[in-house]
Amino acid sequence: MSDIVNEAVVVLNEKLAGADIGGTAKFDIEGEGTVMMDASGARAADEDADVTLSADADTFQSILEGHTNPTSAFMTGKLKVDGDMGMAMKLAAALS
């Protein structure tokens, strides 16, 4: 597992504490791995999810650090969404 994925698990667990995204979500970080998120929190795993968000490592880290708005990243093509758009919006709100 990459350092980026391990760091993402820690940060996402902090940001999503108490948030209910209403299903399962997956971040696919190009060349690094995947992070699953659900009611029990975030973990390094690659499973089926209701929504998959894909981005390169720089974009993903910028979103986690609060420098890039997830919705803006999606609108500019830096973040791709496959699946439940409503859940993606809930996740974006929790990360902002």
Convert the pLDDT of each residue in 54-96 to its tens digit: 999 999 999 999 999 999 999 999 999 999 999 998 888 887 7
User: What pLDDT, on a 0 to 100 scale, did the predictor assign at position 73?
Assistant: 95
* Strand segments (E) across the chain: 25-29, 33-38, 41-44, 51-55, 80-83
pTM, two decimal places:
0.91
Report the half-sphere exposure of 15 (CA within 13 A, side-chain side): 20
% of residues, the chain, pLDDT over 90: 75
